[in-house]
Amino acid sequence: MQPDTDVLVVGAGPTGLTTAIELARRGIGVRMVDKVMPRPYAESRAEGLHAKSLEIFERQGLLAPVLEQGRVLAGFAFRSGGRRLGELSAGGLDSPHAYAVLLPQSEIERIQIERLAELGVDVQRPVELVHMQQEGGAVRAHLLAGDGNHSEVTARYLVAADGGHSVVRKSLGIPFSGHALQGAYVMDAVADFAAEPPPDRGTFILGRGGFLVVGHRPDGTYRIALSLPAHDQRISADRPTRDELQMLLDDFPEMEIRLRSISWSSAFFISSRAVDRLRHGRVFLAGDAAHIHSPVGGQGMNTGIQDAVNLGWKLAIAIQARGGERLLDSYDAERLPIIRRLIASTTTSTKPLLWHNPVAVAARNSLLRLVMRLPPLQTALFDSFTGFSVRYRSGAFVAAKRHAMGSRGPLPGEIAPEADRGGRRWYLLWGDDTRHQLLIFGDPSAARDRALAWAQQHCELVRPIVVAVQSLADDPDVVLDPTGALRRRYAVTSSGALYLVRPDGYIAARSSAVDDVGPLATYVDAILSSTGVRWERATRRSPANGRTFTGRSNDSSGSPGRFANSATRRWRCRPT
Ligand SMILES: Cc1cc2nc3c(=O)[nH]c(=O)nc-3n(C[C@H](O)[C@H](O)[C@H](O)COP(=O)(O)OP(=O)(O)OC[C@H]3O[C@@H](n4cnc5c(N)ncnc54)[C@H](O)[C@@H]3O)c2cc1C
């Protein structure tokens, strides 16, 4: 069966949109449906983008509008019992974006939708996936449009980003195991405070038997969220009134919040649940469809975005090469342990925030005060809920671990770092290039040329970037490192080094000598043998606009492949 599209993405939330952008950037055919029209600003759910998501958005070309429309937060202030406990600052994060951005999810989605449209994909809505099945090497989805029309679409793969109540998950009979955690109440309000919360910080009030989070929204209203151990009997409906919410806020006398008006409110129960597999044949679960948990640390949306980025490039390679089972399996192998850890850590860290016993509350507050006084502990805590502690330790594609370099420098499966702050940002060279990037550390030599030649042989997957002390020409594939900051980050010695970085920013493989491409070749061979297809490139000219594009010479679909950008022009493969 010739499917109608490469990938059907179900659900245009942050996870589905990130997946679709990752695929569309690589020229993969995407169809995207959502059962509702875009949500209004006032009904937005998530508000906080963490540094890891900001880095992803930067690579996808979304950072500028996010910064323009959002509010930058330097960290979080904690108060309890009328006293300041301390602050958690994002400043220690190992990121060029060591802050968070407060922007309603509705606006984040709008920015993503605009980017997706630029890439040629429109979200079809309101179109609901009613059920689906896998058959004959494809997925068949049954869709119901808002006008009552039923239709079917077939796709090579389906990404289920259809949220916590995922129909896809239910269609496949996949268990969503876990338990109910706590009651939650959220409101967007115009309010007065005895002491105005700082505009550049999120404010946490830890009460007895619950906690409260306040943030300034970009439109001047406040987002106030409360968590209580159980549903409060005084609240009658899932859209609480201003008076009902005021009663709840009065239990947190700390800030003397007086609600003047509310534009949106919601009462719901938070559960902690996850699937036990993310891949089911040709179907991949991502974001809330695969995991939901306590809102502590604002990790739901941010984790979904990271799921999508892990999946996107793998799916693209598998589709371009019509194969790649092991590569696709690595989505499950890499993300599932992260999700399990997330569920465990959010559940564990939520419990003390709901304590009622005054002795326990005092002990918790003392511990928090201590953590917030010690910058390394602050950073470790921030790392853990912003995705910076993520290491992909399992899966076939981070296998060649400590090859010849001991534990010095970043290991395969770890985040590929930038230079220390103030140093040159090699990520900026990444630009629109969606391939693996090979960082070549070494002086001009025959060995370095061999590494370049190896990259050129694999230019379908790999783009070389030379890290040089100085460069005479303005070369787009050279990153200057005059102070040695980048070499130090990568623990490079006099024999040079090679670091192959995956499209999602994690180290794929590394070698402690510039003339030893062995570990890199093992990794690339694993991908190529996983796809089982010979990669051959042909250079043709588009009849439509005369632009040069590169495509697979064995691609019978007539698909044009990815348009050549400056990097592929420079490192175009020799036709085989
Ligand atoms: C009040 C609140 C505050 C939150 N704050 C934060 C925060 O600050 N930071 C954070 O990281 N997370 C936060 N979260 C969690 C965050 O909102 C979710 O984790 C995030 O929305 C998950 O994104 P998603 O794309 O996976 O799913 P969703 O955003 O739920 O998107 C799923 C999409 O699928 C569509 N859909 C569903 N079923 C179908 C179907 N059958 N056919 C077609 N389309 C379908 C839906 O219409 C929806 O658009 C918050 C959640 C809540 C409730």
DSSP string, 190-256: EEE-SSPPPTTEEEEEE-SS-EEEEEE-TTS-EEEEEEESS--TT--SSS--HHHHHHHHHT-GGG-
Query: CA-CA distance, 207 to 230, in Å (whole number)?
Result: 15
Residue nearest to atom 26 of ligand 1 (CA): 287
Q: Which amino acid is at 554?
A: N
Ligand 1 geometric centre to CA of 80 (Å): 30
Closest atom, ligand 1, to C-alpha of 301: 11
Ligand 1 geometric centre to CA of 288 (Å): 6
From start to end of 34-137, where are the E strands?
Answer: 48-49, 71-73, 75-80, 83-89, 100-102, 123-124, 127-135
pLDDT at 326: 85
Residue nearest to atom 50 of ligand 1 (CA): 46
pLDDT at 407: 65
Q: Which helix (H) or strand (E) holds 331?
A: helix 325-353
Closest atom, ligand 1, to C-alpha of 184: 1
Closest atom, ligand 1, to C-alpha of 288: 26
Residue nearest to atom 30 of ligand 1 (CA): 163
pLDDT at 25: 96
Domain boundaries, the chain: 5-47+104-176+275-350, 178-272, 396-531, 537-570
At 541, list the tokens. Answer: 């000219």
Going residue by residue through the chain, which has 576 residues, state the pLDDT in tens, using 9 for 90 and above: 789 999 999 999 999 999 999 999 999 999 999 999 998 877 778 889 999 999 999 999 999 999 999 999 999 999 998 888 999 999 989 999 999 999 999 999 999 999 999 999 999 999 999 999 999 889 999 999 999 999 999 999 999 999 999 999 999 999 999 998 888 999 999 999 988 898 899 999 998 889 999 999 888 899 999 988 887 888 877 899 999 999 999 988 888 899 999 999 999 888 999 999 999 999 999 999 999 998 888 899 999 999 999 999 999 999 988 778 889 999 999 999 999 999 999 989 888 998 989 999 999 999 999 989 998 888 888 888 888 888 897 655 554 444 545 668 999 999 999 987 777 788 888 888 999 999 999 988 999 999 999 999 999 899 999 999 877 666 778 998 988 999 999 999 999 999 999 999 999 999 989 989 999 998 888 877 765 544 444 343 333 333 333 433 323 333 323 323 333 333 334 332
Closest atom, ligand 1, to C-alpha of 225: 1
Closest atom, ligand 1, to C-alpha of 143: 42
Long-range CB contacts (within 8 A, 24+) of 569-572: 570/476, 570/477, 571/455, 571/456, 571/459, 571/463, 571/464, 571/477, 572/459, 572/537, 572/539
Query: CA-CA distance, 419 to 336, in Å (whole number)?
Result: 30
Which listed CATH number (3.40.50.720, 3.10.20.740, 3.30.9.10, 1.10.10.10) goes with 178-272? 3.30.9.10
Residue nearest to atom 25 of ligand 1 (CA): 13
ipTM of the complex: 0.96
Ligand 1 geometric centre to CA of 196 (Å): 30
pLDDT at 566: 31
Residue in 288, 293, 310, 386 to alter for ligand 1 test, most ligand atoms within 8 A of Cβ: 288
Q: Which amino acid is at 297?
A: G
Ligand 1 geometric centre to CA of 169 (Å): 15
pLDDT at 567: 32
Ligand 1 geometric centre to CA of 10 (Å): 12
Residue in 102, 263, 301, 346 to alter for ligand 1 test, most ligand atoms within 8 A of Cβ: 301
Q: Which helix (H) or strand (E) holds 113?
A: helix 105-118
Give 52's contacts (C-beta < 8 A, 6+ positions apart): 95, 302, 305, 306, 386, 387, 388, 390
Give the strand pairing for 5-10 and 150-160.
parallel
Query: CA-CA distance, 409 to 399, in Å (whole number)?
Result: 16
Sheet holding 177-192, edge to edge: 83-89, 75-80, 201-206, 211-216, 222-228, 177-192, 258-274, 291-292
pLDDT at 395: 58
Residue nearest to atom 29 of ligand 1 (CA): 13
At 211, list the tokens. Answer: 């906690």
pLDDT at 247: 93
DSSP 281: T
Fold designation for 396-531: Glutaredoxin (3.40.30)
Ligand 1 geometric centre to CA of 11 (Å): 9
**CATH architecture of the domain covering 5-47+104-176+275-350:** 3-Layer(bba) Sandwich (3.50)
Distances from the Cα of 502 to the Cα of 397, 400, 445, angstroms = 10, 14, 25
Residue in 34, 36, 43, 45 to alter for ligand 1 test, most ligand atoms within 8 A of Cβ: 45
Query: CA-CA distance, 31 to 123, in Å (whole number)?
Result: 8
At 355, list the tokens. Answer: 């304590």
Residue nearest to atom 41 of ligand 1 (CA): 129
Q: Give the count of alpha carbons within 13 A of 355, CB side only.
A: 15
Give 100's contacts (C-beta < 8 A, 6+ positions apart): 48, 49, 50, 51, 72, 73, 75, 90, 202, 298, 386
- 3-state class of 521 per DSSP? helix
Ligand 1 geometric centre to CA of 12 (Å): 9
C-beta separation of 437 from 313 below 8 A: no
Residue in 10, 103, 105 to alter for ligand 1 test, most ligand atoms within 8 A of Cβ: 105
Which residues lie with the beta carbon below 6 Å from any ligand 1 atom?
10-16, 33-36, 45-48, 105, 128-129, 161-163, 167, 186, 287-288, 295, 298-302, 304
Sheet holding 71-73, edge to edge: 48-49, 100-102, 71-73
Give the strand pairing for 548-552 and 537-541.
antiparallel
pLDDT at 208: 83
pLDDT at 537: 41
Residue nearest to atom 1 of ligand 1 (CA): 45
